Amino acid sequence: MPLFERTPATLLATLKALLPTGAVWPREPDAALSRILGGPATTFARIYARAQALIVDAFPATTLELLPEWERTLGLPDPCAGAAPTIQQRRAQVVARFAGRGGQSVPYFVAYAANLGYSITITEFAPFRFGMRFGLPMAGEEWSHVWRVNAPLDTIISFRFGQGRFGERFRTWGNEVLECQLEEIKPAHTILLFSYS
3-state secondary structure of 195: strand
- Best CA proximity match to 101, nearest among 115, 120, 84: 115
**What pLDDT was estimated at residue 46?**
93
User: C-alpha distances in angstroms, 62 versus 57, 97, 111, 112?
Assistant: 6, 15, 19, 18
Report the pLDDT value the prediction gives residue 135, as an integer from 0 to 100.
63
Give the pLDDT of residue 89. Answer: 83
**Predicted pLDDT of residue 1:** 43
Peptide bond into 77 cis (omega under 30): yes
Between CA 67 and CA 166, with CA 99 as vertex, the angle to 5 degrees is 30
**What pLDDT, on a 0 to 100 scale, did the predictor assign at position 15?**
93
Cβ contact 150:121 at 8 Å: yes
Pair 147, 190: CB distance under 8 Å: yes
Question: Could you give the CA distance from residue 144 to residue 125 in angstroms, rounded to a whole number?
Answer: 6
pLDDT at 2: 53
Per-residue model confidence (pLDDT) at position 106: 93
Helix (H) or strand (E) holding 113: helix 106-116
Spell out the domain ranges in the chain: 8-57, 79-196
DSSP secondary structure letters along 33-69: HHHHHHHHHHHHHHHHHHHHHHHHHTSTTT-STTHHH
- Tell me if the pTM is above 0.85: no
Rounded mean pLDDT for each run of 10 residues along the chain, 197 residues in total: 73 92 90 92 92 86 89 86 80 87 88 90 80 63 86 74 62 79 91 91
Alpha-helix runs per DSSP H in 118-175? none
